[in-house]
């Protein structure tokens, strides 16, 4: 496969790994359009998007029957990448109306999950939602232009990021990024991080478009996240934990479970690293890391995916989201230059969307990987 020496941010060019693997442009376009149609309007056992009234819609976590900021912000990112403004605005209206706080310690943050009727289940936020909301809104502003509130997309993004950095400095609440380390937290009150929340490629762009006073912070956050991922990923297997301390070491067991190991949240790390390399090409370690991870999974069938300790030893427990894991292993090919990169792309191409109750998370990761590997996950 060809490899650019500069990232897409500088060149304006995006690799199409499906094309490089021998698939035709029209086949690739058709596959992407078909996946979008199935997820946003297909059969009941595939779709994850649902319209509400005249101007709203939501992404359903089908495994938990709730609506999460993860899924809502993911849906907005998918919509802006696919140039689907109506669906973007519907998702944003739902999020703004039912999930974003207007006062108190969480002002301008979003309640991380609610019921499909908008009733909040929890008040607290999950920072991966806020960072995806902000990035999708900036892209919407750049692609479609700003309108009247709440469609003043860039202004809305800056409000979210302002809270993420400054909440609690002059009043109640906590910031979403640790002020000392510049690392994103698992939740604002937590002294832990989640490696899969680290999106240095987003922070590079926040450093261009956020409030001017915060731009140095975001540049530092991008560098800090890249350094953090080096510590959090195992040097032999490439596996990372779901939760980790700010020094990159796995967290201890939490009240709601044991997240020291490689499981569902952690799958996203590979895709995030791949996209950061594609967009910015700032850390050659990302190539080595992507090769390591693909080498670990090379001879494991998708049906045999498990929960793993970081050293690679498996638990008996099967992967809850095997299609999502395959999708992110394939997305690692954006950075990988080893012999496993092309086979993972082809294996992913030949795998359909997941159906059934647990399809939501798998198919979000699936669609993002489709975008990335086809060169359609772009900076706007």
Of 10-19, 85-94, 169-178, 225-234, the one with minimum mean pLDDT is 169-178
Enumerate residues 6+ apart whose C-beta is below 8 A from 81.
Answer: 139, 371, 376, 377, 378
User: How far apart are the C-alpha atoms of 202 and 280, rounded to whole Å?
Assistant: 10
Task: Name the 3-class secondary structure at 95.
Answer: helix
- The CA distance from 372 to 189, in Å, is 33
Cα(7)–Cα(237) distance, integer angstroms? 26
* pLDDT score for 1: 42
Catalytic: which of 38, 66, 70, 362? Answer: 70
Q: State how far the Cα of 288 lies from the Cα of 14, in Å rounded to an integer.
A: 21
**Band (5; pLDDT cuts 50, 70, 90):** confident
Q: What pLDDT is stored for residue 303 in this prediction?
A: 97
Is the CATH number of domain 1-47+232-380 3.40.50.1980? no
* pLDDT at site 378: 98
Per-residue pLDDT of 212-251, as tens digits, reads 999 999 999 999 999 999 999 999 999 999 999 999 999 9
Active site residue 70: yes
**pTM assigned to the model:** 0.97
Calpha distance 186→183 (Å, rounded): 10
DSSP-assigned letter for residue 313: P
Tell whether the model's pLDDT for residue 2 goes beyond 50.
no
- Backbone φ and ψ of 367, nearest 5°: -70, -40
pLDDT tens per residue, range 149-205: 999 999 999 999 999 999 998 778 999 999 999 999 999 999 999 999 999 999 999
pLDDT single digits (tens) 46-78: 999 999 999 999 999 999 999 999 999 999 999
Contact 3, 287 (CB under 8 A): no
Q: Tell me the torsion sign for CA atoms 283, 285, 288, 293.
A: negative
Rounded to whole angstroms, the Cα distance separating 123 from 69 reads 12
Q: What is the CATH number of domain 48-176?
A: 1.50.10.10
208 or 4, which is more confident: 208
Q: Are strands 120-122 and 113-114 parallel, antiparallel or unpaired?
A: antiparallel
Q: Are 358 and 318 in contact (CB under 8 A)?
A: no
- Judge whether residue 253 has pLDDT over 50: yes
Tell me the pLDDT of the chain averaged across its residues.
97
DSSP-assigned states of every residue in 320-380:
S-HHHHHHHHHHGGGT--STTHHHHHHHHHT-PPP-STTHHHHHHHHHHHHHHHTT-----
Choose among 101, 209, 102: nearest CA to 158. Answer: 209
The reply to whether 1-47+232-380 and 48-176 are identical in fold is yes
User: How large is the average pLDDT for residues 328-348?
Assistant: 98
CB 350 within 8 A of CB 27: no
Q: What is the pLDDT of residue 300?
A: 98
Under the banding of pLDDT at 50, 70 and 90, the label for residue 3 is: low
Contact 301, 357 (CB under 8 A): no
- The domain limits of the chain are 1-47+232-380, 48-176
What are the tens digits of pLDDT across the range 286-313?
999 999 999 999 999 999 999 999 999 9
Question: By three-state DSSP, how is residue 201 classified?
Answer: helix
Kindly state the DSSP code that residue 183 receives in the 8-state scheme: -
Q: What are 34's two structure tokens?
A: 């078909």
Catalytic residue among 130, 204, 242, 265: 265
Rounded Cα distance between 92 and 190, Å, is 27
Residue 252, pLDDT above cutoff 80: no
């Amino acid at each position: 496969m060809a490899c650019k020496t500069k990232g897409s941010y500088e060149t304006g060019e995006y690799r199409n790994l499906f094309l490089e693997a021998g698939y035709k442009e029209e086949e690739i376009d058709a596959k992407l359009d078909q996946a979008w149609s199935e997820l946003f309007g297909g059969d009941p056992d595939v779709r994850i998007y649902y319209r509400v009234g005249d101007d709203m819609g939501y992404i359903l976590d089908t495994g938990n029957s709730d609506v999460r900021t993860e899924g809502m912000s993911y849906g907005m990112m998918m919509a802006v990448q696919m140039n689907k403004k109506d669906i973007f605005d519907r998702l944003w209206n739902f999020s703004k109306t039912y999930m974003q706080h207007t006062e108190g310690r969480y002002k301008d943050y979003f309640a991380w999950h609610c019921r499909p009727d908008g009733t909040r289940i929890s008040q607290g936020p999950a920072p991966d939602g806020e960072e995806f909301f902000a990035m999708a809104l900036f892209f919407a502003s750049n692609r479609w232009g700003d309108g009247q509130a709440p469609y003043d997309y860039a202004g809305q993004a800056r409000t979210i990021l302002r809270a993420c950095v400054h909440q609690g400095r002059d009043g109640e609440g906590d910031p979403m990024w640790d002020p000392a380390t510049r690392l994103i937290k698992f939740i604002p009150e937590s002294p832990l991080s989640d490696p899969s929340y680290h999106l240095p490629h987003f922070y590079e762009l926040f450093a261009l478009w956020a409030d001017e006073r915060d731009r140095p912070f975001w540049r530092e956050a991008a560098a800090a996240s890249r350094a953090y991922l080096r510590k959090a990923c195992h040097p032999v297997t490439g596996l990372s934990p779901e939760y980790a301390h700010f020094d990159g070491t796995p967290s201890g067991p939490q009240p709601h479970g044991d997240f020291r190991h490689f499981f569902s949240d952690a799958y996203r790390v590979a895709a995030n690293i791949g996209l950061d390399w594609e967009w910015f090409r700032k850390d050659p370690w990302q190539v080595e890391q992507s090769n390591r991870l693909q080498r670990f999974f090379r001879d494991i069938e998708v049906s045999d995916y498990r929960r793993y300790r970081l050293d690679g030893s498996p638990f008996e427990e099967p992967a809850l989201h095997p299609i999502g894991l395959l999708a992110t292993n394939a997305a690692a090919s954006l950075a990988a230059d080893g012999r496993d990169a092309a086979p993972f792309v082809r294996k992913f191409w030949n795998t359909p969307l997941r159906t059934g109750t647990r399809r939501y998370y798998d198919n979000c990761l699936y669609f993002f990987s489709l975008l990335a590997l086809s060169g359609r996950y772009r900076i706007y």
